[in-house]
Amino acid sequence: MKHYNIPVFLPELACPFRCVYCNQFSITGKQKMPDIQEVKSTIDRYLESFKEKDRFVEVAFFGGNFTGLPEKMQDDFLKIVQPYLEKGVVNGIRCSTRPDYIDEKRVKTLKSLGMLNIELGAQTTNDGVLQRCGRGHTYKDIEKASQIIVGEGITLGLQMMLGLPFDNFDHDMQTARDIVRLGAHETRIYPCIVVKDTELERLYKNGEYSPLALDEAVEQSATLYEYFTENDVKVLRIGLHTSDDLNGDALVAGPYHKNLAEMVFSRLWGRKLDKIDEKSDKIVIEVPENQLNHAIGYKGENKKKLEERYKKVVIRSGPSFRVQRSGIEKSPANMMEISPLRYSSIRFGRNDMCVIASATMPAEARENLSKLGSVTWLEPSDLAYPSISSHPDIFFFCHNERHCESVIYAPNIGKRITHALSQLDIKEGNASVGHKYPDTCHYNAVGIGNTLIHNLLHTDLSILDLYGKMWTKSVQHNVNQGYTRCNLLALNENNYITSDFGIKKVLEENGFNVFYVDPHQIVLPGHDHGFFPGCCGLVDDYVVVCGSLKHLRECKELKKFIRRNGMRIIELYDGELIDVGSIFFVRPKA
């Protein structure tokens, strides 16, 4: 299916701020707000030009602070599109706007009128840079607006800029990580340029600002593009649209180039091709046809570099990316692909994270989990029946799992384990774990914020006492399932994943969002099946899974649900999903 945007450019009349880099007229080429007839003519003209019948069309209000316009003006623009939506010739609407002009009531109205995508001009998530650039909003505004948009089921886009004054690439990478964490599905990457009649022009001419060189912008944009694609964020654009003004005297300095995106894709292919290490005079490289020009490189740069190493280089179209030499063909996919998980580089605020996990998980999963923190492995024992006797959620209760700082443990867990966890804030519970249900479920509860979810007939008194002493009144939901944590993963206080219909029913009746995963797809040795939440751990913005989600029928929708809640997925290995009795990440005492 071919996707089309019908762009309607609006000048920045609704913006009360003037950022240091901004001269909106030079960027959009627009100074006057289009009237109703102009918008209709634009839509009709574009629709007539579309040739593909299998298409998805959005009317896109770009170039301004759409939600900063008077609400009547917003509604007038949106009402123009309604007849096209009713006829089915347009499928939806998108707009760009500022983060500090988003509120829940307005977003609900926009959604009712066909708004499918909202792009926020975040630019950076560094408060210091936002302030010095005169943005007029903070990171908290970006975070709040993102949560509202994602919460309404509207696709979130977060735009970013490179090379802003007072910024650096470390900050840019943090902005990229925040964009992923906040649940954006789309982004745009704009290297900062110096435009005439802006505060940035004054800074530049006074020697107080130096824009990125073109090659720096290409290199950094390529790195960001790699990061976003690894994390399923679609990059809609790299660099500003060309305009007569920017091609004329409006551009003062900076990495503006009409072929910037082409240069970035060329650089990405150059990085891949640099890794080829064939001992041969001749090399033949096949790439998908739509990537052929990028692989050869901007002005042939990639092929020229290869010709410095090989006497003859052929780059041609083929079904996939592969390398041939001397009649021997091999696929370099494993060599070329960048793993989506660089375990050794993942950090959760502090590098001394403690992990409690079952020693029965596969060796590869154990190895990768060990890269995420210091692991205390629970070995099978005779404290409970064999299939669950090494499961952390049988012996431990973690409050606020994503940011857990304290645990309650069963008194018969053993001195070896409590000694290994001595650097944690741990509290001994009342009841010992026994061999049979319900003596195996006293600690298998879910607690997040002031909410406790469990079969409250069997909850350990120490957990009930914890919730009884909270400064705000606790909310306790009773469910029939005693193995609640085995069956329930709390992404946040409103959104949950479960493998138990009874839990699902209770939570939905209380207004929570619940995603159900069929438990018959989960392995638990000694049983017909396990439960998906038992495969998982939570830490900061990550869902850590013992196994690959590709083995689930619900894989695609589950990934969307997790990402909509601003979280990423770490798969500890590529195999079947195994219920390992949860994985707990706990921060040591400060």
Tell me the per-residue pLDDT of 206-240, one tens digit each, with 9 for 90 and over: 999 999 999 999 999 999 999 998 888 999 999 98
* pLDDT reading at 328 higher than 50: no
Among 3-12, 324-333, 447-456, 528-537, the least confident range: 324-333
* pLDDT reading at 336 higher than 90: no
Give the per-residue pLDDT at 539. 94
Domain positions in the chain are: 2-257, 266-336, 343-586
CATH number listed for the domain at residues 343-586: 3.75.10
pLDDT band at 548 (very low <50, low <70, confident <90, very high): very high
The total of other beta-carbon atoms located within 10 Å of residue 85's CB is 17
Give the per-residue pLDDT at 263. 96
Can you tell me the distance from the alpha carbon of 127 to that of 28, in angstroms, rounded to the nearest whole number? 26
Under 8 Å between Cβ of 581 and 388: yes
pLDDT tens sequence across 511-543 = 999 999 999 999 999 999 999 999 999 998 899
* pLDDT reading at 340 higher than 50: no
pTM of the model: 0.58
CATH fold match for the domains 2-257 and 343-586:
no
Give the per-residue pLDDT at 319. 84
Q: Where are the beta strands (DSSP E) in 102-154?
A: 115-123
* pLDDT reading at 142 higher than 90: yes
* pLDDT reading at 330 higher than 90: no
pLDDT band at 572 (very low <50, low <70, confident <90, very high): very high
pLDDT band at 495 (very low <50, low <70, confident <90, very high): very high
Among 137-146, 161-170, 343-352, 409-418, the least confident range: 343-352
Cα 169 off chain centre by: 19
472 or 389: which leads in pLDDT: 389
Domain 2-257 listed as CATH 3.20.20.70? yes
3-state SS assignment for residue 406: strand
Give the per-residue pLDDT at 230. 85
Tell me the C-alpha to C-alpha distance, in Å, between residue 258 and each of 57, 235, 244.
25, 17, 11
**Both tokens assigned to 171:** 């900050």
